[in-house]
Structure 1
Amino acid sequence: MDIQHIIGEILTLTIMAFALGLDAFSVSLGMGMVRLRLKQIFYIGLTIGAFHVVMPLLGMLIGRLLSARFGELATIAGGILLIGLGFHIIYSNLFGSEESKVAPSGLGLYLFAFSVSLDSFSVGLSLGIYGARTWATIVIFGLVSAFLTWSGLLLGRHAKKVLGTYGEVLGGSILIGFGLKLLFPI
């Protein structure tokens, strides 16, 4: 495996992590409009980052199992899953109802972290089928999502809610692009 391939894979994983972290960023923008202490912001970012490590790891483990058993069919399913997830994110942000806000502490924080990392499970499933590097994936996903969460919380006082919707639509579009790449490799 050459260095160019490794750099390409890391860049691809970073772009995917950014796409997946945009929902945490978007929701954090709104949450950041509530006055939070820096300690709370730090803890929220760590919690969401941890969920973005665990969820794709579980997905990758299951994806590898499926890949070993079903080969090319599993790759096609992974691509379709990414495309479907991307369209779901876009549709729910453009046409879905406004979600109720969850308090960023205690059980509410864990429910929030779970909800914004659930799509990481699906992507992890696809990446496991595809054969991505497990440790690189979970470290990049965790760091990027924590960073985007912190950024959203800190910028939330100054941002408009509309930016959150556009951010998630961009994230959904990126996932569709990666799904198409799986289905139609160049």
Structure 2
Amino acid sequence: MATIHFNDFTTIFMMALALGMDAFSVGLALGLQQLRLKRIALIGFTVGIFHVLMPFIGIILGSFMSTKLEGIAVVIAGILLCGIGAQMIFQTFQQKSKQVLAPAGFGLVLFAISVSLDSFPVGLSLGLSGAVAFFILIIFGIVTCSLTWLALLIGRRANHLLGAYSEVIGGSILFGFGLLLLF
């Protein structure tokens, strides 16, 4: 069994922070919706799970596919974020109807996938096996889950300060991140 030195752990932790920052940024925008604490917990946990699953799938498929799938993953993530952001913006101008893509059910899965797709090529490039790969994946999940919770809680607090404009601001941020990924 491989041992992990402090420098290795620092590198892994910094990589996890880098991968989790998109979930943090998007989580800030999503947190501007009126979310209950139970929903926030579920969202963070789901995003953390996907940040474990995506690199795991990447490790299984192997590094030979990384160049082909990396561009596709970014495009898909951009389209998903633009769609979620546009839905949030348009929902603000409608009567209080049911959300088309709420952070629950299928909408939650789409959100988790969109912020986790960038970890897929990381898994492809890691090419590790055994206990060390498991350790890295768990760190990715824990860090991303924590960052998502923090962002959602900050966004939730900002929602109380911004009121009705919070949905438009959050949707605009998500749409902007989507455009940034696409272009």
Per the normalisation by structure 2, the TM-score is 0.64
Change (3 A) 1:28 1:47: same
Change (3 A) 1:20 1:136: same
Q: Is the 8 A contact 1:56 1:121 kept in 2?
A: yes
Unaligned runs of 5+ in 1: 67-73, 173-186
Measure, in 2, the Cα distance between the counterparts of 1:55 and 1:18: 16
Cα deviation, residue 133, structure 1: 2.4
**Deviations along 1:102-153, whole A, 9 cap, x unmatched?**
4211100000001110111111111117999211111000001100100110
Aligned residues: 144
Measure, in 2, the Cα distance between the counterparts of 1:28 and 1:147: 11
Cα deviation, residue 11, structure 1: 1.2
Cα deviation, residue 6, structure 1: 2.4
Q: Is the 8 A contact 2:2 2:131 kept in 1?
A: no
Unaligned runs of 5+ in 2: 89-100, 160-165
Measure, in 2, the Cα distance between the counterparts of 1:39 and 1:45: 10
Measure, in 2, the Cα distance between the counterparts of 1:153 and 1:49: 13
Change (3 A) 1:97 1:106: closer
Q: Is the 8 A contact 2:22 2:115 kept in 1?
A: yes
Q: Is the 8 A contact 1:28 1:152 kept in 2?
A: yes
Measure, in 2, the Cα distance between the counterparts of 1:116 and 1:28: 9
Change (3 A) 1:135 1:38: same
Q: Counterpart in 1 of 2:158?
A: 158
For residue 103 of structure 1, give the secondary structure of its aligned residue in structure 2.
coil
Identity of aligned residues (%): 44
Q: Is the 8 A contact 1:41 1:153 kept in 2?
A: yes
Per the normalisation by structure 1, the TM-score is 0.63
Q: Counterpart in 1 of 2:97?
A: none
Change (3 A) 1:120 1:2: closer
Matched ranges for 1:1-186 at <5 A: 6-63=5-62, 66=63, 99-100=85-86, 101=88, 102-128=101-127, 133-156=132-155, 157-158=157-158
Please report the RMSD computed on the Cα atoms of aligned residues, expressed in angstroms: 3.5
